[in-house]
Structure 1
Amino acid sequence: MDLRKLRYFVTVVQEKNYSKAAKILHISQPSLSNAIMKLEHEAGMKLLERNTRGLSLTEAGKIYYLKSKDLLRKFDNTLKELDEMKEIGNGKISVGLIESSKFWFPKVVKDFKLIYPNVHFQLKEILGYDQVINSLIHHDVHFAVTNQLIYDEEIILAPLYKEKLILLTPVEDTLNEKDSITIRDLAEKDFIICTTGFQTRENVLQAFKNENINPNIMYEIERFETACSLVEQGLGVTILPESYIKYNHNPNIATHTIHSDFLVRSVYLAYLKERYLSPAIFQLIAIMEEFFRNE
């Protein structure tokens, strides 16, 4: 299997144009066309249809394209892993983080640096379900801290900790006068919630569904700090993770615990099953797990 021809094929499909693909690949257009013809000959079938409207994949070409992309991804990732194996006590660790982890993760890194002072960190905020999977599969991060429930045969999901989801209200809201607050008390309130694709949204909606109540969703956000700003201005109420709240105190926001089996979330470590992880990365994970055992 000639990986060079596969890379040519994938680039042609993505650009839908031989001329553009040739420029990207730094080869002449005739050489590229010849390479694709040889690839089709080796495959024993036509992969691309060429007509006045441009290029399109045949049915066989569609399958060949997906398989080629996957094969090239795995090959490129293997090269990255081989480079990482050369780094002992140095190199770089890339970590995907949910927004609330920014409060505790630096404490973990501080302890880790006592053992591996020369390791560089690349920290990426990775929030949605697809973002987590893509960042792992494409080796953009070594592992991710996530609250997304991931079902993928290539990814291992290991529980890290559990935490409550806490209600936030404006400091002058009449709800603050109550001794206890229930989901039913929120039925008429303007509600602030994460956008579709965030696990926290699903947890909160399930809590409302359990009480046969539809929240009055007025604002959909991607970042918790945006939700806090809206609450601070008296524009609504929201429910956010406890780890975000306790390190982000705001005198203009009141917090409340609502007793519900659904207002709790699990946070996980997610990493590729077959990816090489260095001893330094395993040490970082061990320190992280120890941190939450002692919390």
Structure 2
Amino acid sequence: MTRMDLRALRYFVETVRQQSFTLAAERLNVTQSTVSKMIRQLEDEIGQPLLIRDGRQLHLTDVGRVVLERGQEALGVMHNLTREVADLADLTRGELTVGIPPMVNLLFAPAVKAFRARYPALALHLRELGGQLIEQQVTAGELEVGATLLPTEPGLGLASRSVGHYPLHVVGPLQASWTHHAQVPLEALRDTPLLLPGDDFSLTRRVREVTAASGFEARIAAQSGQWDFLIALAAAGLGTTLIPAPLLARLNLGAELAVRPLAEPRLDWHVAVIWKPGGYMSRAAQAWLAVCEENLLATG
């Protein structure tokens, strides 16, 4: 036996339940001859009789009892599968993992709140990684959706949707050489020790790219994945950091720190959600993108 027709199993199980080909046909909305034919095909496929017809009585053979038991299990599995697929389609169950860099997670709080409120039965998991790692995991299919800074790594072919576009501010000691500028040109940071996120963060990648395009290499004095620690290092006089505009009010900037906008249009904080185009995307991932668009675009 190579396969078993689930429809034939359903006809067989219903016939046993009703103890009648006629009643089974009525329940299944088919003709009696169709039920008889399907059960005969099932017996032919198995190679043994399943039912013994004794007048108006139907009796199961030993094989018929096994087929009935396993058939009920198989039909139950299919019923549950159908229900679970419908639940997933309706977003009444399931889970979704979203990659969000620690440096941008504060921006996504409204989206997380809205998503949980709208889809309370969906388990939302947040995986905190650097933007470059998130891009790689989305490309590899380990994550369906994530967040990073634009532009993404060339060659990965990722699709993106902007959810915020913000200027950067230069933050550092009051005695730093750039403090006499009302808006700090990138050139003023040529010899300045910089305090930046780790190398797996997209902002650091962008700083390296833009400074190299301007003819110098960024002097990175220290790195951390926490804004607060970068600010503390700057306050201790160890260097200058770059802070996105929306985070300035959330961070503890003491009087010992100078703050100026960065006058560099190529280097800003352009946050986007990303996904791999052309492949399957779950309903949960589609819902996350929609919630981000509704709750974050207005803030960018």
TM superposition score normalised by structure 2: 0.59
Q: 1:264 maps to what in 2?
A: 268
Contact 1:204 1:262 in 2 (8 A): no
Question: Counterparts in 2 of 1:133-282, with a 5 A limit?
Answer: 133-134=136-137, 137-139=140-142, 141-147=143-149, 149-150=152-153, 151-153=155-157, 155-170=158-173, 173=176, 175-176=178-179, 178-209=181-212, 211-251=214-254, 252-273=256-277, 274-278=279-283, 280-282=284-286
Aligned residue pairs total 211
Unaligned runs of 5+ in 1: 1-82
Unaligned runs of 5+ in 2: 1-83
Q: 1:71 maps to what in 2?
A: none
Which residue of 282, 287, 293 maps to 2:291?
Answer: 287
Shift of the 293–241 alpha-carbon distance from structure 1 to 2, 3 Å rule, reads same
Contact 2:170 2:184 in 1 (8 A): no
Identity among equivalent positions (%) equals 15
How far off is 1:136 after superposition? 5.5
How far off is 1:185 after superposition? 2.9
CA distance in 1, matches of 2:112, 2:200: 29
Question: CA-to-partner distance for each residue in 1:133-169, whole Å, 9 max, x for gaps?
Answer: 2256343x3310111614335x433333322222111
CA distance in 1, matches of 2:185, 2:286: 42
Shift of the 178–133 alpha-carbon distance from structure 1 to 2, 3 Å rule, reads closer
Question: CA-to-partner distance for each residue in 1:241-263, whole Å, 9 max, x for gaps?
Answer: 33443432422543211211222
Shift of the 197–100 alpha-carbon distance from structure 1 to 2, 3 Å rule, reads closer
Contact 1:193 1:220 in 2 (8 A): yes
Secondary structure of the residue that 1:105 maps to in structure 2?
helix
Contact 2:100 2:131 in 1 (8 A): no
Secondary structure of the residue that 1:281 maps to in structure 2?
helix
Q: 2:104 maps to what in 1?
A: 101
CA distance in 2, matches of 1:156, 1:293: 16
CA distance in 2, matches of 1:200, 1:231: 17
User: Radius of gyration: which is bigger?
Assistant: 2
Amino acid at match of 1:275: Y
TM superposition score normalised by structure 1: 0.60
Q: CA RMSD in A?
A: 3.1
Shift of the 221–198 alpha-carbon distance from structure 1 to 2, 3 Å rule, reads same
Secondary structure of the residue that 1:258 maps to in structure 2?
strand
Secondary structure of the residue that 2:120 maps to in structure 1?
coil
